[in-house]
Amino acid sequence: MQIDLSDRTALVTGSTQGIGHAIAVGLARAGAWVAVNGRGAERVTEAVERVRTESGSDDVVPAVGDLATEEGAAAVVDAVPGVDILVNNLGIFGSAAPLEIDDAEWRRYFEVNVLSAIRLIRAYLPGMTDRGWGRVLNLASDSAVVIPAEMIH
């Protein structure tokens, strides 16, 4: 299947490694202008270079910010004011005894796994609507359906 995204812009959250990185490479190969996100400038800069090399596209830019915070999300939106494709890939998971997860840890999971996506949807969806085209993809896990007791958060 030939996918042509040459007129599209995309932001992939949590794309310095793993699944997000692979998505960024795939979108860049399909011709999209792609913004790569992570928390630190150094890792993001390295990832931008890797996406460029692996995709053969120069249309790859950094979008540094910790999306678990309002300030970090604002920094990303400052760097990339609008996109056609938002991939909310960022998500964390870990193993813990369910009754020993404290409030701070529940809040951290909610900030990273839920609010990070909500903040960016609020920022980008109106532009997509105005332009008459847009895509938002929210990645989750089969652990949301088949829930391992040690990953209840």
Ligand X SMILES: NC(=O)c1ccc[n+]([C@@H]2O[C@H](COP(=O)([O-])OP(=O)(O)OC[C@H]3O[C@@H](n4cnc5c(N)ncnc54)[C@H](OP(=O)(O)O)[C@@H]3O)[C@@H](O)[C@H]2O)c1
Q: Which residues bind ligand X (CB under 6 A)?
A: 14-20, 37-40, 43, 66-68, 89-91, 93, 112, 139, 141
For residues 25 and 149, what is the distance between their CA atoms, to the nearest angstrom?
A: 34
Nearer to ligand X by Cβ, of 40 and 126: the residue is: 40
Least separation in angstroms between CB 113 and ligand X: 7
Is 132 or 146 the residue whose CB approaches ligand X more closely?
A: 146
Which residue(s) pair with 34 in the sheet? Answer: 10, 60
At closest approach, how far in Å is the CB of 6 from ligand X? 25
Backbone dihedral angles phi then psi of residue 135, each to the nearest 5 degrees: -140, 135
Alpha-carbon distance of 116 to 88, in angstroms, equals 8
> How far is residue 110's CA from residue 23's CA, in Å, rounded to a whole number?
23
Least distance between ligand X and beta carbon 130 (Å): 26
Of 68, 90, 93, nearest in space to 139 by CA: 90
Q: Please state the closest distance from residue 35 (CB atom) to ligand X, in A.
A: 12
CB of 1 to ligand X, least distance (A): 23
Kindly report the number of other CB atoms within 10 A of residue 124's CB atom: 21
| CA torsion angle 52 58 64 70 (round to 10) | -120
Q: Which CB, 43 or 153, lies closer to ligand X?
A: 43
